[in-house]
């Protein structure tokens, strides 16, 4: 099991893909990667949109489910599930090796 918590939103897609590729290389075929981050709705809630704008000032960003799928697939991972309590902004993105 691998765990990344509230880290990837600090980085651009290219930097996240590089981080996830290194993680993927360390994973066994049956390993899971759990990513805990805000998961933006489309359209986003005002608070999450404000955080997204703030993160853009340091080249980071908040991501939608589609955004997480994009970086995971580009790193050789597949999203297995999104775990999120009803009404919560943050959630868990469960990934495995593609």
Catalytic residue among 9, 24, 61, 63: 9
Active site residue 70: no
* Most distant CA atoms of the chain, gap in Å: 39
Helix and strand element counts for the chain (H, E): 3, 5
Put residue 59 in one of left, alpha, beta given phi > 0 → left and psi -120 to 50 → alpha: left
The residues that are catalytic are 9
């Amino acid at each position: 099991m691998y765990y990344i918590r509230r880290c990837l939103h600090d980085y651009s897609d290219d930097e996240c893909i590089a981080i996830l590729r290194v993680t993927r290389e360390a994973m066994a075929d049956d390993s899971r990667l759990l990513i805990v981050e805000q998961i933006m709705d489309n359209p986003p809630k005002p608070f999450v949109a404000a955080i997204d704008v703030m993160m853009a000032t340091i080249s980071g960003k908040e991501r939608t489910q589609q955004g997480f799928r994009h970086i995971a697939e580009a790193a050789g991972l597949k999203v297995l599930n999104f775990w999120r309590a009803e009404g919560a902004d943050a959630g868990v993105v469960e990934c495995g090796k593609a």
